[in-house]
Amino acid sequence: MRTGRLVKALSGFYYIKVDEEIYQTRARGIFRKSGMYSPLVGDIVDFESDNLKEGTLINIHERKNALNRPQVANVDQILITMSLKSPDFSFYLTDRFIAYSESFDIEPVLIVTKKDLNIDDNLIDKIKETYKMYKIFFTSKEHFDKDLGDIFTNKLSVLAGQTGVGKSTLLNTLLPELDLETGEVSKALGRGRHTTRHVELIEKNGGLVADTPGFSIIEFTHIDKETLKYCFVDFDTPSESCRFRGCNHINEPKCGVKNAVESGDIKQWRYDSYLQIYEEIENYKERY
Helix (H) or strand (E) holding 34: helix 30-34
103: phi > 0 → left, psi -120 to 50 → alpha, else beta; which?
Answer: alpha
Question: Is the preceding peptide bond at 87 cis, omega within 30 degrees of 0?
Answer: yes
Ligand-binding site membership of 165 (annotated): yes
Ligand-binding site membership of 113 (annotated): yes
**Close Cβ partners of 106 (under 8 Å, ≥ 6 residues apart):** 65, 75, 76, 77, 78
Residue 154, Cα to own-chain centre: how many angstroms?
Answer: 17
Ligand-binding site membership of 24 (annotated): no
Question: Is the preceding peptide bond at 70 cis, omega within 30 degrees of 0?
Answer: yes
Ligand-binding site membership of 116 (annotated): yes
Ligand-binding site membership of 163 (annotated): yes
Ligand-binding site membership of 242 (annotated): yes
Ligand-binding site membership of 164 (annotated): yes
Ligand-binding site membership of 231 (annotated): no
Q: Count CA atoms closer than 13 A to 161's CA, side-chain side.
A: 29
Ligand-binding site membership of 209 (annotated): no
Ligand-binding site membership of 115 (annotated): yes
Binding residues for GTP: 113-116, 161-169
Binding residues: 113-116, 161-169, 242, 247, 249, 255
Binding residues for Zn(2+): 242, 247, 249, 255
